[in-house]
Amino acid sequence: MAKTITLSNGREWKTQKAAEQHFREIRDRHPLRTPIDDAQDHADLMALLERFDAAHAEEDSKIGCGVDYFDVRMNFSSGGATKGFWVIRVDGTETDFSFIWAVKGTPKPEAQEFSDACRAAVMADLHAAKREFFAKHGDADGCVPCEISGKLVSVDDAHVDHAYPTFGALVQSFKAARQWHQAIPSGVLTRPQDNQTTTTFVDPAVADAFRVFHHAAASLRVIAKDQNLSMAAGQRRPKIARPVLLSTA
């Protein structure tokens, strides 16, 4: 049975998906870096932020000394560029927050935080490899065939996919190699703080160790962003016509 999402201001949705869609629509209809001055939107975001803080009681409050206003900004992190909500407090401090996890009403699992840190460690390498791949294989229009559909895609419409093993499998293998199966030791991951849009490793040596592990084991290919990723994940050891190569530097 679907879980009803209810906020402190009385707003209610029958499903988590419906609540997420409501806040996604708020995010998308407001211009970037402009105070959200619609009274209902502000009230909904304030109630959502209260839900976020309640679910993250062991962390520093996002509300802090009080909220002046909300706005929407581009967040540049390990996952690329995405639009998200920011909180501007009455003392001028500011931070971002995830409306997805606020709606869920639960902290992001440690396993997901660890995966985020792993992705952050290799994201620059993946971006560089993607640029080099398109420079080498792109046609006159700069396009290459999607490895699954064969459809020509541009660099902006393409995704570098971990064909085999999946990125999740690589992360699990790395954890096992360090004997972190049960739990991640304290101090390995950065604690949530203002203006931190993704979790990273505290010790650069751990990030470097994952980079080396990833580069040795990852098998990468280019697929269209709109390609069915579940279909891609279902392929076992797919043949790759044009592998994406990571630099060893």
Q: Range with the lowest mean pLDDT among 71-75, 178-182, 206-210?
A: 178-182
Predicted model pTM: 0.76
CATH number attached to the domain at 5-104 = 3.10.450.40
- What pLDDT is attached to residue 77? 67
Average pLDDT score over residue span 119-134: 94
Average pLDDT score over residue span 4-11: 93
- What pLDDT is attached to residue 197? 74
On the question of pLDDT at 182 being above 90, the answer is no
- What pLDDT is attached to residue 2? 67
- What pLDDT is attached to residue 207? 97
- What pLDDT is attached to residue 220? 95
Residue boundaries of the structural domains of the chain = 5-104, 110-233
On the question of pLDDT at 121 being above 60, the answer is yes
Confidence of residue 196 (pLDDT cuts 50, 70, 90): confident
CA dihedral 53, 55, 59, 62 (to 10 degrees): -20
Average pLDDT score over residue span 181-195: 86
Confidence of residue 13 (pLDDT cuts 50, 70, 90): very high
Average pLDDT score over residue span 185-198: 84
On the question of pLDDT at 110 being above 60, the answer is yes
CB neighbour burial string for 169-208, b if at least 16 within 10 angstroms, e if fewer: ebbbebbeeeeeeeeeeeebbbebeeeebbbbbeeeebbe
- What pLDDT is attached to residue 232? 56
Average pLDDT score over residue span 204-220: 96
Name 147's Cβ contacts closer than 8 Å, sequence gap at least 6. Answer: 161, 163, 221, 222, 223, 238, 240, 241, 242
- What pLDDT is attached to residue 81? 79
Q: What is the pLDDT of residues 133-152, one digit of tens each?
A: 999 999 999 999 999 999 99
